[in-house]
A = this chain, B = another copy of it.
Amino acid sequence: MTRRIVARLLTPTDFAPFGQVIEAAGAPDRIINAGRCGRFHDRARPEIEGRTGISVFRSETVALPYSFTLVERHPLGSQAFLPMAQDPFLVIVVPDAGGRPGAPLAFVAAPGQGINIGRNVWHGVLTPLAGPGLFAVVDRCDEGPNLEEYLYDEPWTVVAG
């Protein structure tokens, strides 16, 4: 039996239980630089125990349908993925069900959308759908274990919406 997930477009409302969408949406909160630049201020809520760092991830792309069994979470901090190219990426997040991941959800982030995944929120690994697969990542860069992995017995398959 295939377990199918239909990917939907990423919206702040749908993503709210899992974290924040980071994008230049709506009117800017401030206009700066003599009118040349809009600041969409403070669009994420990083929650990181220990030192916050900035890294770069470079990932191979994936295609839909996309099957996976592995999800993970980080007990000591949120993790922001900020795409460095104007390409969509797939976002897999999972409600917790009593300390284990439940049934996953899948979103497609449009070009220009980044995300901040909340601390201890189950999620899939980085899955760019096109482009160079380059992301700036804001997360915990400190000593100590900060990774919990879970393998489903059977794969989930994400299909286009």
Mark A residues whose CB is within 8 Å of B: 22-24, 28, 32-34, 36-44, 46, 48, 52-60, 70, 80, 82-86, 112, 114, 116, 125-126, 131-134, 136-138, 141
CB-based contact B82/A85 at 8 Å: no
8 closest cross-chain pairs (CB), A and B? A37-B59, A44-B54, A82-B136, A33-B125, A42-B141, A40-B56, A42-B53, A24-B58
Q: In whole angstroms, how far apart are the Cα atoms of A36 and B60 in the complex? A: 6
Which residues on B sit within 8 Å (CB–CB) of A59? 33, 36-38
The distance in angstroms between the C-alpha atoms of A85 and B84, with both chains bound, is 5
Taking a contact as CB atoms closer than 8 A, the residue among B44, B48, B112, B131 that contacts A134 in the complex is B112
Q: What B residues does A40 contact at CB under 8 A?
A: 55-58
Known: A24-B56, A37-B57, A39-B57. 19 other contacts (CB 8 A): A22-B54, A22-B56, A23-B56, A28-B58, A33-B125, A34-B70, A36-B59, A37-B58, A40-B56, A42-B55, A46-B52, A52-B52, A54-B114, A82-B84, A82-B136, A84-B84, A84-B85, A85-B86, A86-B131
